[in-house]
Amino acid sequence: MSNIMLYAEVTKENYLHTVVFELAYKAQELAKKLDNASVSALLICKTGLAENFKEAFINSGFDFVYIAESNRLTHYSTELYSKIAVDIIREVKPDIILVGATTQGRDLAPRISSSLHTGLTADCIGLDINEKGQLAATRPTFGGKLMATILCKTLPQMATVRPKVFKPAPENIVKDTKFIYIKPEIDNIQKKVEFIEFVKGLNTAINELDSAEIIVAGGKGMKNEAGFELLKNFAQCIGGCVAASRGAVDMGLAPSDIQIGQTGKTVTPKLYIACGISGAIQHIVGMQDSDKIIAINNDEKAPIFDVSDCGFVGDVFEVIPELIRIIKNSNGDAASDINIS
C-alpha cells in the first residue's frame, strides 16, 4: 500500500502552519485515488511541543504522525531538519511527500529531494493521481505563461504547494491517529549556520492582505510612485488594501511583501480590482479565486480581462481619479480633499 507524507511545518511562533491543513485535505483526496493510501505527517520541533498539536492531527485525517523532538530544534535549521527528515523518510518510505511552499519549505524540500536523489516539483497549483497511480503535479512555468504537468520517475515523488492554493477540510476528519516518536540522530552534527536573532516583521501588510475583503492591486501600468499614491487613495476610498504585481515590485514601486502571484501571496478577497496589470498567469494564480474581479487597463487585449467579471479599457490615471470623484460624491464627501495628482 502506498502512503503520502506531509511536512508539518511549525512557524516561528510555534503554531502548525495553516498550509499543513490545506495539504492534509488534499492528501485525503489523493489517498482515495490510491486505494486508500495512508496519510502521515512529519513533525520536527522542540521538546514537548508536539503535544500541543495532537488534537489537530487527530481531527485532520492523519493515520500516522512521526515526531522528532529535541531542544536543539527550537529554531528551524536546514542542516538539522534535513538530516532528520531524510532519516525518517528512508525508514517510512512514503511514495509522495508534500511540503508547503513557504520560505522554510522551499529551503528544506530541495535539500531532502537532492539527498534522496529524487524529483521535486515546486509551487504546484494542482495535484492529482494519474491512471498509472503517479503524482501528476501541475505548475505554471515559463514566466507563468504556460502550465506544465510534471511526473517523477523516482520515489518518493515530491511537491511543494503555496499556502492558500488548496482549501482545508470544511469539517473535522477524525482518525485514530498513531503518534510515533523517533529519536533524532543529530548529536554528532556540528552546525555551520548559527541562529543569531529574529526580529518580528513590523510591516503588517502580510496579515492585512490575508483577511482583506477588497484589494486594489497595481501593476507596471501604475508607472511611478505617484501612481501607487493614487491607488492608496482609491483603496482608502472603497475600504480596501493595496497590493502589487511582480512587475510593479520589480520596478521598485511597491514592497515585495504585498506582491500577489506565484512568487508572492495568494489572496481570495470578495473584490479584487486590478489596475494597470496585464495579467500574466504568474499573477493570475495568486488572485483568480477572488469572488469578483474588476480590471482597468489601457490594452483591450490584456489577458487580465479574460479572468475578470468586469473590465474598463482606459488609462488608469484618468479612470481612477474619476472613480474616486464619483464614489466620494455618492458618499456625500467633498471631492476637494482628495489628492488625485
Query: Which residues, 93 to 112, sit near other proteins by CB under 8 A?
Result: 102-104, 106-107, 109-111
Q: Are 1 and 35 in contact (CB under 8 A)?
A: yes
Rounded Cα gap, residues 226 and 224, in angstroms = 5
Return the residue of 225, 299, 315, 322 that touches other proteins, per CB under 8 A. Answer: 322
Angle formed at CA 67 by CA 62 and CA 69, multiple of 5 degrees: 150
Q: Which stretch binds other proteins (CB under 8 A): 52-60, 165-173, 194-202, 223-231?
A: 194-202
DSSP track, 83-112: HHHHHHHHHH--SEEEEE-SHHHHHHHHHH
Return the residue of 18, 59, 70, 115 that touches other proteins, per CB under 8 A. Answer: 115
* Residue 90 binds to other proteins (criterion: CB under 8 A): no
Q: Which stretch binds other proteins (CB under 8 A): 31-39, 88-96, 224-232, 293-301?
A: 293-301
Nearest CA-CA partner of 234 in 219, 218, 253 = 218
* Residue 335 binds to other proteins (criterion: CB under 8 A): no
Q: Which stretch binds other proteins (CB under 8 A): 28-36, 46-54, 176-184, 321-329?
A: 321-329
Return the residue of 151, 174, 180, 335 that touches other proteins, per CB under 8 A. Answer: 151
Q: Are 102 and 163 in contact (CB under 8 A)?
A: yes
CB of 221 to other proteins, least distance (A): 13
Return the residue of 8, 267, 284, 287 that touches other proteins, per CB under 8 A. Answer: 284
* Interface of this chain with other proteins, residues 16 to 55, rule: CB under 8 A: none
* Residue 195 binds to other proteins (criterion: CB under 8 A): yes
Return the residue of 3, 28, 60, 282 that touches other proteins, per CB under 8 A. Answer: 282
Grid coordinates belonging to 256: 515585495
Q: Which residues make beta-bridge pairs with 135?
A: 129
Q: Is 69 helix (H, G, I), strand (E, B) or coil?
A: strand
* Residue 74 binds to other proteins (criterion: CB under 8 A): no
C-alpha distances out from residue 326 to 119, 126, 238, 311, Å = 54, 41, 11, 17
DSSP track, 271-289: EEEEES----HHHHTTTTT
* Residue 299 binds to other proteins (criterion: CB under 8 A): no
CB of 150 to other proteins, least distance (A): 5
Sheet holding 120-124, edge to edge: 120-124, 157-161, 96-100, 3-7, 38-45, 64-69, 178-181
Return the residue of 174, 180, 310, 335 that touches other proteins, per CB under 8 A. Answer: 310
Is residue 214 classed exposed, middle or buried when 0-12, 13-18 and 19+ CB atoms within 10 A define those classes? middle
How long is the chain?
341
Report how many residues bind other proteins under the rule CB under 8 A: 97
CB of 293 to other proteins, least distance (A): 7
* Residue 294 binds to other proteins (criterion: CB under 8 A): yes
DSSP track, 253-318: SS-GGGBBSTTSB----SEEEEES----HHHHTTTTTSSEEEEEES-TT-GGGGG-SEEEES-HHH
* Residue 150 binds to other proteins (criterion: CB under 8 A): yes
Q: Are 179 and 69 in contact (CB under 8 A)?
A: no
Return the residue of 3, 121, 177, 259 that touches other proteins, per CB under 8 A. Answer: 121
Q: Which stretch binds other proteins (CB under 8 A): 40-48, 49-57, 173-181, 244-252?
A: 244-252
Tell me whether residue 59 or residue 78 sits nearer to other proteins (CB atom): 78
Tell me whether residue 42 or residue 116 sits nearer to other proteins (CB atom): 116
Q: Which stretch binds other proteins (CB under 8 A): 40-48, 63-71, 117-125, 225-233?
A: 117-125
